[in-house]
Amino acid sequence: MYEDTTHQDIIHLEKDILHIEDALLEFLSLKYEDGIKKSLQQLESNLRYLSILANGAPINKKEDRKIMDFLRIHYDYLQKLSVPA
């Protein structure tokens, strides 16, 4: 039961992160600063939560590697978006 809920939370967070990144790109193109700031904060928060959740989750090594790769890619993306041009 706990494993299923944790797995669903991980999937939900990954989808939410992708959605936030899409919204962030739209805000960047519109130069909507409040939306950009809020999205960056939400993205960072969700990535942290996913990391914490994944580190404590009873998952197999293959899935763990997939989640860690996802986190690495999206933390890199966050870092690039956070650097002022």
Cα–Cα separations (whole angstroms), residue 2 to 16, 53, 64, 69: 21, 12, 16, 23
Q: Could you tell me which of 70, 80, 78 has the C-alpha nearest to residue 13? A: 70
Rounded Cα gap, residues 38 and 55, in angstroms? 26
pLDDT digits (tens, 9 = 90+) for 16-69: 999 999 999 999 999 999 999 999 999 999 999 999 988 887 778 888 889 999
Q: Could you tell me which of 23, 21, 25 has the C-alpha nearest to residue 73? A: 21
Give the pTM. 0.87
Can you give the residue ranges of every domain in the chain? 2-82
